[in-house]
């Protein structure tokens, strides 16, 4: 078994701080620990999908992207979505 699978199971059984996932699930309803996080948004509709990855820094209760000059961030800012 992999680390990811084992910690997912452990988080569902009463140890939410071990969850490798941050989503809508109950075990994700805790503060994010400090560190460098890989964020992978997934968007799909009508058989077409896209996925990209951002690096998020979390430190002392604050969060920021490691690089804000990414092409999709610039497009979001230009369109008013960000």
Whole-model pTM: value is 0.54
Residues 58 and 19 in one domain: no
Cα 72 to Cα 81: distance, rounded to the nearest angstrom: 11
Residues 47 and 22 in one domain: no
Q: What is the bridge-based pairing of β-strands 35-39 and 42-45?
A: unpaired
Structural domain count of the chain: 2
pLDDT band of 16, cuts 50, 70, 90: low
Mean pLDDT in residue range 33-48:
84
Cα 82 to Cα 66: distance, rounded to the nearest angstrom: 16
Mean pLDDT in residue range 51-78:
84
Cα 56 to Cα 36: distance, rounded to the nearest angstrom: 6
pLDDT at 59: 94
Supply the range of the domain harboring residue 76. 32-82
Residues 46 and 14 in one domain: no
Q: What whole-number percentage of the chain has pLDDT above 90?
A: 5
């Amino acid at each position: 078994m992999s680390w990811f699978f084992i910690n997912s199971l452990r988080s569902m059984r009463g140890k939410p701080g071990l969850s490798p996932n941050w989503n809508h699930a109950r075990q994700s309803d805790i503060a994010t620990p400090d560190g460098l996080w890989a964020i992978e948004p997934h968007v799909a509709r009508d058989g077409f999908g896209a996925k990209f990855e951002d690096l998020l820094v979390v430190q002392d209760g604050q969060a920021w992207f490691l690089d804000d000059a990414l092409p999709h961030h610039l497009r979001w800012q230009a369109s008013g979505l960000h």
